[in-house]
Amino acid sequence: MFVLFRKEIGSFLSSLIGYMTIIVFLIVNGLFLWVIGGEFNVLDYGVAGLDGLFVLAPWVFLFLIPAITMKMFAEEKKNGTIELLLTKPLSDISIITAKFFAGLVLVVISVLPTLIYIVAVYQLGLPKGNLDLGGIMGSYLGLVFLGAIFVSIGIFCSSLTNNQIVAFVFSLVLSFFMYIGFDFLSDIPFLSDIDLLIKSFGISYHYSSISRGVIDTRDVIYYLSAVSFFILLTKLSLESRNWQK
């Protein structure tokens, strides 16, 4: 499994996709946080914090992560190498897990350079160092968890087709729904009695919760369950090749 994981990481970093993902993520967030005026701009906000980053980053990931994952299985199917891959002495879960962690590592690499923003807002605080480190660390953890769910969704969508564009669009739509779709459903009048329950199925509900700096086991269980669910769906998708024979 580690060999496949290393191969996937190498594939990302030997192509423009991996570097473009990191660069676009940093440029978009950097521009909104430090250059473009508005509610996300740290200097305009008037409070030493990184709230703008943690509001923007999920939306940037919403487009970038499907671009990372769209080829993971779709390209294998298109090139006819999927059967060769699946006949290797690895279980389907091992193959899926290797690709999942490769995608997640790229997400983490994208996020790591933003840690320098903590130093910046630390210096900008009045008095210096007046910032909520607990909330910031919780938000970073939530961002990694959110990225993990988006990666698992992207891998699942990639396993359904041999067309990378279809995989990208499907992953984008499904990730968008998982992130904020349940919030829209909870606003439907006849569902008002269970609106909180419906919201709890959405990523944004748990992302907002963990961003407060309190690591609630319910949030962690949600993230792990969601990732496991989509990995299981991917396994079932790959196994369907046997049902068609």
CA distance 33 to 55: 11
CA distance 78 to 76: 6
Quote the tokens at residue 59.
């939306």
CA distance 138 to 208: 10
Upper half-sphere CA count for residue 211 (Cβ side, 13 Å)? 17
pTM of this structure: 0.92
CA distance 227 to 235: 12
The answer to whether 170 and 157 are in contact (CB under 8 A) is: yes
pLDDT tens digit sequence for 170-206: 999 999 999 999 999 988 888 888 889 999 999 999 9
The pLDDT assigned to 174 comes to 97
Residue 85, Cβ density class (10 Å: 0-12 exposed, 13-18 middle, ≥19 buried)? middle
User: What residue segments make up the domains of the chain, in order of their start?
Assistant: 2-236
Residue 34, Cβ density class (10 Å: 0-12 exposed, 13-18 middle, ≥19 buried)? middle
- What residues in the chain have per-residue pLDDT under 70? 45-48, 129, 241-245
pLDDT tens digit sequence for 142-163: 999 999 999 999 999 999 999 9
* Count, residues in the chain: 245
Pick from 178, 155, 166: nearest CA to 237: 155
The pLDDT assigned to 175 comes to 97
The pLDDT assigned to 245 comes to 47
Q: Which residue has the tokens 């609106």?
A: 195
Cα torsion through 174, 21, 8, 10, rounded to 10: 180
The pLDDT assigned to 241 comes to 63
